[in-house]
Structure 1
Amino acid sequence: MGDPGELDQALLNPTRLSIVSLLAATRWAEFGYVRDSVGLTDSALSKQVSALDKLGYVESDKGYIGKRPRTWLNLTSAGREALTGHIRALQLIASAAGERGAGYHAQDAEHRPGRRAGAEER
């Protein structure tokens, strides 16, 4: 992630944003929990986790609970930094748009939607 006010292209994908946001609130979440929480299939989550892993945003660890294999996922410090910067950029965009919108006043009330030009108020 470059500039702290820059959107992270990988996190523009809502699924990847959901995964890293969930992982930001946990530590070593079980794959099935993430899958169910984000509402994906195993293969869809695996694909997204692979993409995030290549970026260094997510790490995984495999192990067993009894005889059942399990995979756990964790957000790396790079992933946490990317998410923080991405959220900051979104907040800046929303704030700037809100300020511009609050400062906008129609020059002429005649231009309100649903009004015909020259129509009188009743």
Structure 2
Amino acid sequence: MGDTRFDTLIHAPVRLRICGLLRQAERIDFAVLRDALGVSDATLSKHVKTLASAGYVSSGRAASSDRHDARQITWLSLTAAGREAFDAHVRALREIAGLPG
């Protein structure tokens, strides 16, 4: 088991939810994540940029088999460092709440 570390960068509510959703999937389409969170493009972009600057989230553009035009989808995913930081943060929250690890 890794360390337990409260991460103030992840703890902001929208960023915590971004990391939580991304932790459950290999990658998520920007628009799907935006809709799941109920935030604007600008809000999601701002938080993704913060997480990406910390090395927690990566993004890439790729075509989608669901699309019949040339537009590409922005895919978001947690990096290995992002997964480690999120997992450590969740352990810290559980510790604060007095819950088992």
What TM-score, normalized to structure 2?
0.86
Aligned twin of 1:51: 50
Aligned twin of 2:24: 25
More RCO (CA 8 Å, sep 6+): 2
Equivalent residues in 2 for 1:97-108, closer than 5 Å: none
Shift of 1:29: 0.6
Shift of 1:6: 2.4
Which residue identity is paired with 1:72? W
User: In percent, how many aligned pairs have the same letter?
Assistant: 40
Alpha-carbon distance in structure 2 between the residues aligned to 1:5 and 1:67: 44
Shift of 1:12: 1.7
Shift of 1:39: 1.1
What's the C-alpha RMSD, in Å, of the aligned pairs? 1.5
Unaligned runs of 5+ in 1: 97-122
Aligned twin of 1:100: none
Aligned twin of 1:80: 83
What TM-score, normalized to structure 1?
0.72
Shift of 1:22: 0.1
